[in-house]
Amino acid sequence: MSLHYFLSCKRNYINIIQKLEYIIETLDDVNYMTICEFQDNYDKIMNSKNNKSFFTEKIKHFQDLINNCNNELDQLCCHNFIDDVIDLTPERSQSITYCTICEYTKT
């Protein structure tokens, strides 16, 4: 498969993970609001944590897929590393080295 295929997959998997994390946050908000409103249904609400674990498992699955993509990208990419400086805060910055093609960051 091509470098562009794995780059596209990786970006899509990251996007999916972000959406799954948003779903988990929303579930937490709904559970909290429901607990506040309906104290007597607390047991039913706490059982809904199974929904949260489903999404957490999906996140782990997509993280594994990202790791697979990273492994393939590492083998396929003819890295073009550049040094750059990123701003962490207005007063602080950090130097990084990354590939302009696959976005691999040297540590």
**Domain coordinates of the chain in residue numbers?**
3-76, 79-107
Q: Quick one: pLDDT band at residue 59, thresholds 50, 70, 90? A: very high
Average pLDDT score over residue span 26-40: 72
* CA distance to 31, 32, 50, 58, per residue, from 39 (Å): 11, 10, 19, 30
Q: Quick one: pLDDT band at residue 36, thresholds 50, 70, 90? A: low
> For the chain, what is the mean pLDDT?
87
Q: What is the pLDDT of residues 65-83, one digit of tens each?
A: 999 999 999 899 999 999 9
